Structure 1
């Protein structure tokens, strides 16, 4: 079960809203979601957590590229939204969905024995996700939370971040 919320900074403080991730398929979709909630291109944080296994923060400041932090990339990779963010951070691309991607250049299907009996290499060449934090650990530094504090967050990480930002009541209202 996921919990996702948007926190948008305004002149009057932070405004929180719950968010529906049904149409989110890429990091750009997360950024678009944040920009839609932005007031005057101010900072927007997208919080996502999955049952205390991991949490993520996507930060969008105006038209700048989104910044991402995951508390535990290995745990996040076991869920669809976490995998999307981890793959983006690790530079992995989504596999092609067309039939041409199932056939190697030599005409054999992936995993099918070749002439000499060898098996085509189908392993992901990129390294596995680390069993710990991944991404921009300084994502909240200018808002008052250091890299060390971010890494030390407990099971209620999003609540602790909201406490630090001074918007606990606003976040709790959308939980």
Structure 2
């Protein structure tokens, strides 16, 4: 089961909203959703978490490209939204239609989709996913969370990030 939330920075602090990922198929979709939640093109941070197996942070600042961090890429790769983020970070091009036909996007899938018999293997997709963190571990430094602190987070990572950002109550309201 997934938990996802958007935190939009405002002049008065942070505003959080529970995020429905049903229509999110790509990082671009997630970034667009974050931009819709933004106040005056300010920073929006999207949190994704799957049952303490992994967490992801996607930061969107106005029209800039989104910055992504995943706590455990190998674990994330075994879930649809985690695979979407890791594939983006690894520069993998996936045919979205084929991928969606073989995945259940409710977060309950147990593994990667099987290759179809007789189908040509995509060598780019066979690139090993690193065990451990992947992405931009410095994406929250200017908000008070250093690379070292982000890499050290474990079980209640999103709660600790919210504490550092000063928005624990706002995040808990949508949990």
**TM-score interval, normalised by the smaller of the two chains:** 0.7 to 0.9
Q: TM-score, normalised by structure 2?
A: 0.85
The CA distance in 2 between the partners of 1:153 and 1:92, in whole Å, is: 27
Q: Is the 8 A contact 2:25 2:96 kept in 1?
A: no
The CA distance in 2 between the partners of 1:146 and 1:68, in whole Å, is: 15
Answering whether residue 28 of structure 2 is matched by residue 28 of structure 1, we say yes
Following superposition of structure 1 onto structure 2, how do residues 12-161 of structure 1 map, counting pairs within 5 Å?
12-95=12-95, 97=97, 112=118, 122=121, 124-125=123-124, 126-161=126-161
CA deviations 1:81-105 (Å, max 9, x no partner) are: 000000000000114758xxxxxxx
Q: Is the 8 A contact 2:68 2:85 kept in 1?
A: yes
**Aligned pairs, number:** 157
Shift of 1:128: 1.1
Residue 124 of structure 1 aligns to a residue whose secondary structure is coil
Q: Is the 8 A contact 1:67 1:139 kept in 2?
A: yes
Q: Is the 8 A contact 1:73 1:129 kept in 2?
A: yes
- RMSD of equivalent CA atoms: 1.7
Query: Which ranges in structure 1 are unaligned for 5 or more consecutive residues?
Result: 99-109, 113-119
The CA distance in 2 between the partners of 1:95 and 1:31, in whole Å, is: 19
Query: Which ranges in structure 2 are unaligned for 5 or more consecutive residues?
Result: 99-115
- CA change 1:167–1:97 in 2 (3 A) is closer
Answering whether residue 11 of structure 2 is matched by residue 11 of structure 1, we say yes
Residue 24 of structure 1 aligns to a residue whose secondary structure is coil
